[in-house]
Amino acid sequence: YALLSFDIDFFKRINDSFGHAAGDQVLKKVAVVMTKAVREGDAVYRLGGEEFLVVLPQIDPAMALGIGERIRHQVKALDLHGLAPDGGVTISAGLFVSDPDQPLPFDAALAMADGALYLSKQQGRDRLTVA
């Protein structure tokens, strides 16, 4: 399995500039992109605030990376004029792919994906980092 942890970059600016109703619309639009980009049997969760988790069971690393990059590019392409500064948003992401021969417990895998997410933020955002 693989875990993709995503954060909408600078989400607070949306709420501060356009209000919480606009922020809610952005969250919904990003969630739609994510749910359309994954395979049947994959799951998208909102963990809170502007953070999302995508659970990808039975997947190889290249396919997981492809799904993560597809989500990142499709979110960046969203037309959010009137809802977000500069008319759009980007996301930062972290990917962890479990070794099928030695799978990590879910909480450890989530910590690895989150660690990679924070590296994406530290390295300038709008990117996906593999744990």
pLDDT at 26 over 90: yes
31-39 — which CB contacts under 8 Å span 24+ positions?
33/71, 33/74, 33/75, 33/78, 34/6, 34/71, 34/75, 36/74, 37/67, 37/70, 37/71, 37/74, 38/67, 38/71, 39/67
pLDDT at 100 over 90: no
- The predicted model gives 91-110 an average pLDDT of 94
Within the chain, where are the H helices?
A: 11-18, 20-37, 61-76, 106-122
- The predicted model gives 4-14 an average pLDDT of 96
What was the pLDDT predicted at 47?
A: 92
For residue 94, what are the β-bridge partners? 5, 129
pLDDT at 103 over 90: no
Active site residue 51: no
What was the pLDDT predicted at 76?
A: 97
| Segment 66-86, tens digit of pLDDT | 999 999 999 999 999 999 988
- The predicted model gives 44-52 an average pLDDT of 94
- The predicted model gives 124-131 an average pLDDT of 97
Catalytic residue among 40, 50, 51, 69: 50
- The predicted model gives 24-44 an average pLDDT of 96
